[in-house]
Every structure is written in C-alpha cells, then in structure tokens.
Structure 1
C-alpha cells in the first residue's frame, strides 16, 4: 500500500516538473516575435530561439509574424467620375515592423488595412473617369500605397506595395469598349489603306511622268537622228547625181556623139515607155534596121549633133569626183545589196517586163551588128 502511494506521488511530481518546464521554457521560431504578459500586462518581447519565462506568472500572449505578408482582398464596387460602377480587387504587401504596436494599437490590423484600402480606393477612383481608371494603374497604386503607409505607420506596419489585380467594368460597358476598339482598329485600317493608295498613286504618277519624259526625250532624239540621216542621205544622193551628171557629161565629151548614139539612146528609152500600166502589148517591128536607119536620117538635122565626127577630143577636166562627205564602204555595200534585192523583187513580180527587156537587148544587139558596116569609130584618147 505504501509502495503504491509512493509510485503515484512520484508520477505526480514528474508531471508537475514537465508542466513547470513547459511553462518556463519557450521556443520562438525564426522571423517571429513573442509578446509576454505578466498578470495581463505587457512585460517583454521574446526573440527567436530558446527563451525562459516565469511559469504561471508570465504568459506568451501573441506570436507575431515579422515576415512580409500578402493579403488579397475580394473585388469591391467603385463608382467612377462618369457614374460607372467598376469592380476592383487589390493585393497588399505589408510587413510588421513593431510587434508591440501591432498587438496593442489595433485589434485586427488585416481587417483595418482592408477597410482603409477600400475607402482610399473609392476616393482615388471617384476622381477619374473610366478611361483614365483603366489606363492609370500606376497612379492608383502609388496613391493607395502613400495613404496606407501613412495610416498604418502608428500600427507598427509598413505597406511595401499595392497592386490592382483587375478592374472589371459592367458587361454593357465592356461591349461598348469592344465596339469602340473594333471601330478604332477599322478606322486605323482604313487610314492605312488610304495612305497606301495615296502613296501608290503618287508613285504611279511619278513613274508615268518619268516615262513620259523619257519617251519625249527618245522621240526628240529619234527625230533628230532621222533628220540627220535624211540630210546626209539627201546630200549623198545629190552628190551621187552630180557625180553621175559629171560622168555622163564627160563621156559625151569623150565620145563626140553622133546620130548613131542618139538612136541608141532612143532605143534605151523604149523599155521605159513600155513600163506604163496601160501598155499591155509592145511589138518590136522586124525591120528594126530600116527603122533605125530612118531614125538616124531624121535626126541628123538636130542642131549641135553632127552626122559624123572626126574623133574624140581632149578630155575635159571636171575636177575631183569624190563626194564632199567621206565615203562609207559599209553604206555603199548596203546600198548595193538593197538595189540588188529590189531588182530581184521587181523581176520576180514582173516576169513579162524582164522578157521584154531581154527581147529589146537582143534587138539592140542585132542593130549594133547591122550598123557595123558603117564607118569604123576610133578609140577614145587615153
């Protein structure tokens, strides 16, 4: 019986010691502060770590978190200056700097911060219209932080940052804003399209202007070149005709023409007489020799043309036979090629004319053979 009593007594003593140690030793976590009261009155603030208090006399009443805390408040309706109700939810970043003031200066500092945030937000947003409210987040954040930091300073709390999570206008205002944004984008698109068309028209006009200028310059240069080519061709043609006349005139002086030469020239003109469109048939008489004799006898009375000549006289010096312009071998070759091509084309187009010319050449050959019985001609002097 005595042993059982002793055992119970030891158990009670052990339990008392454990409770005494529990009331005496206090462990405060890191970044925490313990507020100790003795008989209901503030005594001290326990730092982080192992602390000893008077059991059953001192009591750790509050454990204050010294870390920066984040509190998100639910959306609050706020009326703007243009009488539109918007819903704004905020986030507050704060930190307890004075555990004693946060414990004894205010009962619930989180609720106090929430109410102060709501009233300050309504005061700031009430002086802005909807457009300014949506675009002035930084201004609203700065205003809220300044007011909250000043009001919570005596509570031992420092407000580090205030953020607006969202500003939600009414659905009708959202629809109007979307329409306005769509209209603004369409307006910018139309303006950009018009500017693009204007730039395109300007570039097109400038291109047309440059093209017209270049075409005009090209036409002017081509006309100048054609005029110069016509002038040079006319000069060359006139010089060629002059050279031909000089050659013919020299040949006449060298050959001392008589009635036979005149008859020969007449026979050479006969194919040209037959070239007319109305001359479908041209007959050469078989008695061509008698006709030539009669032609020669009828022409001998022409003044200035003797019937017979004694011989060639001294050549007449006609000066240089070269044209004034420098001779161009390539131009002469090209002209000869063109003349040959034209003659070939005319022969192919008028085969009857070619046959007539061949018959005329044969007749002229017979006439020359018949006139060979006349007096012989002396060769021209060299």
Structure 2
C-alpha cells in the first residue's frame, strides 16, 4: 500500500517535470522581433519570428530585440557656436536594428550610445558655424549628423535613417535682438506695401484728375465757342440795327465828344494826344449849335453850310478865333478831376424823337448844289487851317511842359497854356 502511494507521487512529479520541460523547450517569436539563443553561455542562434524549440536547462533565450524603426528624442544639448554663443539644440534620431547579434554583443546599450554620439557629433558640426548659419542651415546640420551616426553605428548592427533638429534656443539677449529684427522686417514690409498702395492710389487719382481736366478743357472750349458765336450774333444785330436806324451826324458827333474826356482818366496819364480831326469835329458841332439844330444841315456833312451861314461866320469870327477857345466848350483839368463824367455839352440836346426815324426806311439825302468857289470858301479853308495849326501848337506846348528839361519859351514870347486846356 505504501509502495503504491510513492509510485503515484513519483508519477505526478514526472508529469510536472515533463510539462515544465515542454514549456521551456517551445518558444514563439512575434513579428518584428528577434531572439538570441545561448547554449551553455555561448551564442547559438538567432530566433526569427515563429515557433522554435530549445533544449531546456541548456539553451537560454535572451530578451527579444525590436527590429522596427525607432524614434528617440534626446534632451536639449548645450552647444557653442563659432562666434562663442551658447545655444540649446534638441535632436530627434530615427534608427533601426539590422543585426540582432551585433546589437547584442557589440554594444552594451545602443540607445545610450546613439545619444552620446549624437551630442558629440552635434558639437563638432555646430562649432564650425556661427549663429546665423546655425539658424538657417538646419538641413546641412541634419545631413552631416546622419552621415556620421550611420557610419559609426553600422558596426553596432544599427542603421540611422534620419536625424532632425527639433529646436534651436539662442540666448535670451539674442532672442530679443532677433525679435526686434523680425519686427523691423515686418515693419519694413508693411511700409513697402503701404507705399505701393499709396502709389497706386496717386496714379489712379492723377488719372482721374487728368480725365477731369480734359473734360473741363473741352467744356471750356465749347463754352468759349458758344460765347464767341453769341457775341458775333450780337455784334451783327447791333451793326444791322445801327444801319437800319440811320443815325444822324449830330448823334455821332456827340458820341465822339463823349469819348474824348476818357483819354484823361487814370493817374498814369501824363501826356494827351489830340486827334487831328478834333478841329473839324468841334467846328461841325459849333455850327450845329449855332443854327439851333436846324434840319437844313446835311447830316452826312455837318461842316458844309449855305452862303448866309458863312456870312454870319465871317462877321462873328476871325481866322485867329477857334472853337476850342469857346467858353461854352472849355473844360479844364481841375473840372475833369472834380467830375470825371463831365461832358462838353448836354446829351439831351442830341435826343432824337422815336418817331422821327424809320429803321426800315433807307437814308435819303437831299442833293445840294455845290457852292461856288469864291473868296468866302477860301476864307473858310483858311480858318480851318488856322484852327488845326493852333491845336497842333498847343499840343506841342503841352508836350514841352511835360518835359521841363527840354521845354523852351515860344517864339512869340507868350506863356504856354496848361496841358489839359490846350488839349481841349
């Protein structure tokens, strides 16, 4: 009885032992993993993904190795640039185990080894660059780091596929300067954009003003043409109305005398020029006043008179008398200054009745017989010449009075009359 119990216990222990042996002998390697088998402490084989059998208590399977690409982010490294500025650089390394046996037996801790190798290589690469090159040459630094790490870690059973610089931290003073520089650059770009906008605005404004000026000039030209046409029509109508009204010589002579005082207007007038036909005009006006505006005077030739009129003129005037010296027509310079609008005669004397002129009727002049050329006509011509000579003499005297240095007393010894009186 006791022997059977012992046999059962022994059989149970044997079953347990066999189960343990079977458990130790069977190994399943997952995908993207690799196992290193050591037999009696020596490398025996590399287990790839799948089912494998080992000898219990003789073979030992080391921890599995991950064959996938690994991404390791290393902490910030303090690096000194060529211009002696300390910057902090964070790196990220992408690598993969390609040889499990080398990764197990060639290096103790390949991740720590990659970290140290990255720091040393980064110092060497950045040490040959200044701060500006370091900030702007990330691709160059990444390529150099990858080349050095890949060539060094190859014997460790690793393959470095990529190295990236995650962040570069310059000193705070440099950061402030960089911020100011960036702000200035943004301000410069904003100023350029503003200037370009103003330029376009001014161009558009100038174009609009040019178009407006062109339109305004065209409008002014059309307005000037219309005004000129209107003035031409007005002048034509006035000219037609005057010729239709058939004005008399009295009115024309009066308007002529009305214009003469305006020659003296203005403070800059120092010298008066007396027209040569003034004597004829005054003589004709005198004859008009002398006969009381009789209709027997020819309106086209007020200076032509009958025999009786010439006889009266011979008795009342001598060759030395002139109508210019008549008290009724004399106007002095003081009178003109006191009343610039003063005229020689009353304009009411020349008013013409509205019913006396037919605008549509042609001008009819009664033919007159030519006066007989006798002594009286010769005397009339002599008196006319005397008046003209006296007017010319007084005009010359007035000119000499305006130039004291060149003035000389007349030949007859008489004092010259005042300039304005002489001109009248």
Please, what TM-score do these two structures have when normalized by structure 1?
Answer: 0.59
Counterpart in the other structure of 2:147 = 146
Number of aligned residue pairs: give it.
258
In 1, the alpha carbon distance for the partners of 2:23 and 2:59 equals 12
Matches within 5 A, 1:1-382: 1-243=2-244, 245=246, 302=296
- Quote the offset at 1:241 in angstroms: 4.3
In 1, the alpha carbon distance for the partners of 2:34 and 2:297 equals 156
- Quote the offset at 1:7 in angstroms: 3.1
State the Cα RMSD in Å.
3.2
Change (3 A) 1:64 1:233: same
In 1, the alpha carbon distance for the partners of 2:19 and 2:143 equals 54
Change (3 A) 1:231 1:49: same
- Quote the offset at 1:205 in angstroms: 4.5
In 1, the alpha carbon distance for the partners of 2:160 and 2:147 equals 9
Q: Secondary structure at the match of 2:91?
A: strand
Change (3 A) 1:239 1:37: same
Q: Secondary structure at the match of 1:74?
A: strand
Unaligned regions of 5+ residues in structure 1, if any? 249-297, 305-359, 365-382
In 1, the alpha carbon distance for the partners of 2:293 and 2:22 equals 174
Q: Secondary structure at the match of 1:75?
A: strand
Q: Is the 8 A contact 1:36 1:62 kept in 2?
A: no
Change (3 A) 1:150 1:39: same
In 2, the alpha carbon distance for the partners of 1:39 and 1:118 equals 39
Deviating more after overlay: 58-67 vs 45-54? 58-67
Deviation readout 1:37-68 (Å, 9 max, x if unpaired): 22222221111121012222222134211111
Deviation readout 1:156-193 (Å, 9 max, x if unpaired): 21122222222222222222222222222233333433
Please, what TM-score do these two structures have when normalized by structure 2?
Answer: 0.54
In 2, the alpha carbon distance for the partners of 1:243 and 1:31 equals 128
Change (3 A) 1:244 1:20: same
Deviation readout 1:10-63 (Å, 9 max, x if unpaired): 232122212211221111112111111222222211111210122222221342
In 1, the alpha carbon distance for the partners of 2:101 and 2:45 equals 9
Counterpart in the other structure of 1:354 = none
In 2, the alpha carbon distance for the partners of 1:197 and 1:30 equals 68
In 1, the alpha carbon distance for the partners of 2:109 and 2:19 equals 34
Q: Secondary structure at the match of 1:187?
A: helix
Deviation readout 1:209-260 (Å, 9 max, x if unpaired): 5544443443333223311221133224433544565xx9xxxxxxxxxxxx
Specify which structure has the higher proportion of helix.
Answer: 1
Deviating more after overlay: 21-30 vs 183-192? 183-192
Q: Secondary structure at the match of 2:75?
A: coil
Change (3 A) 1:12 1:232: same
- Quote the offset at 1:206 in angstroms: 4.8
